[in-house]
Amino acid sequence: MKKILRFLPVVALLAGVFGVATTKSDSIRADAVVTSADIRIAVVRPDWWQGGNAYQVLRLAPTTEDLTNNVVANITYVEIESYTADTYYAEGGGFTEYTTDGVVFYDIPLATITGKHFDLARLSTTDPTTATVWNKTEAELFSTTMLNKIWRIWGDGNGVYRPEGIDAESRNVSNGVINSLLYGYMTCSDSANNGYGAFDSLNTNFNLTGRTFSETDTVLDFINQSDYSMGRGDGVTVLTSNKIAMMQTMYNLSLSPARITTVDFKKNTKLVFLISLIGMSALAGFYFLKSKKQ
């Protein structure tokens, strides 16, 4: 069951989902599902954003006017999927703009948000038909260039900053944030939005390969690619370090055909594709077999 809500109140389900902890007024779903259709958005909020038992949502609408004027009939509401604590975005942790205590995640089908305007909002109640919009960030048109980054609400609550690059503040987040972030990525999918195709930008923005992970750093993953359209299914818990290594390997392999100069691609496209597919599938199978034995 997805977290996409329209016009109806939400019943908050509190549960100890993997990589998730509850805090303050956060709503945590026990039936969290991510498929190949979904993207995961990580958001950092000022402490006051949670105050007053505010109902925190990602709002989607066809136009900015719908969001500005709170045209409930045209707005789709997405609730927080999960929360994880962090050491960097915490008092004394290195981040100094404002006080916050962690990162929340929104999971949403890419098709649902594509072409839509959105904002992050604080509502007075879980029922949008009666709620007052206490605060909202400036409406923006969604773009896939916004993915694979931390979304940090400005201290005044009026906008969103998305740090990126080798000096990005998001490179300082704790391993716990990485564990939860990678829950939303498909290890053996080539997607640049939610698969190994995103590895390079994820690595740049979050320093995946520069971290030291322990055996307590784990993430739920798929057994095979056929599960990607159906949800977690028979997922297995793998070491986060293994998932990162596998994503990196798959990403690097995806670049390798461009370096083959002895093959006539026009005549041998099917052969090259088949060889690549067999190699990637074998690696993926070994990865999951190894993970299950951990």
Identify the residue with better confidence: 30 or 57. 57
Residue 215, pLDDT above cutoff 80: yes
Average pLDDT over residues 264-293: 52
Percent of the chain with pLDDT over 90: 64
- Distances in Å between the Cα of 99 and the Cα atoms of 89, 93, 241 are 8, 10, 30
Q: Identify the band that residue 36 occupies on the pLDDT scale cut at 50, 70 and 90.
A: confident
- Reading the block at residue 208, the tokens are 């995946």
Q: Identify the band that residue 261 occupies on the pLDDT scale cut at 50, 70 and 90.
A: very low
- Distances in Å between the Cα of 156 and the Cα atoms of 42, 54, 160, 283 are 19, 16, 10, 47
Residue 130, pLDDT above cutoff 50: yes
Average pLDDT over residues 121-142: 97
Measured between its terminal Cα atoms, the distance across the chain in Å is 30
How does the average pLDDT of the chain come out, rounded? 81
Residue 19, pLDDT above cutoff 60: no
Taking the complete model, does pTM exceed 0.95, yes or no?
no
CA 46, distance to chain mean position in Å, is 19
Residue 48, pLDDT above cutoff 50: yes
As a whole number of angstroms, the distance between CA 136 and CA 153 comes to 10
Residue 274, pLDDT above cutoff 60: no
Provide the pLDDT for residue 15.
27
As a whole number of angstroms, the distance between CA 162 and CA 150 comes to 6
Query: Which of 150-154, 203-207, 284-288 has the lowest average pLDDT?
Result: 284-288
CB-based contact 83:102 (threshold 8 Å): yes
Provide the pLDDT for residue 220.
81
- Distances in Å between the Cα of 27 and the Cα atoms of 75, 107, 153, 168 are 20, 13, 19, 28
Provide the pLDDT for residue 20.
31
Identify the residue with better confidence: 27 or 62. 62
Residue 101, pLDDT above cutoff 50: yes
Q: Identify the band that residue 271 occupies on the pLDDT scale cut at 50, 70 and 90.
A: very low
Average pLDDT over residues 13-24: 29
Residue 111, pLDDT above cutoff 60: yes
Q: Identify the band that residue 91 occupies on the pLDDT scale cut at 50, 70 and 90.
A: confident
Identify residue 96 by its one-letter amino acid code.
T
CA-wise closest residue to 105 among 213, 188, 219, 203: 219
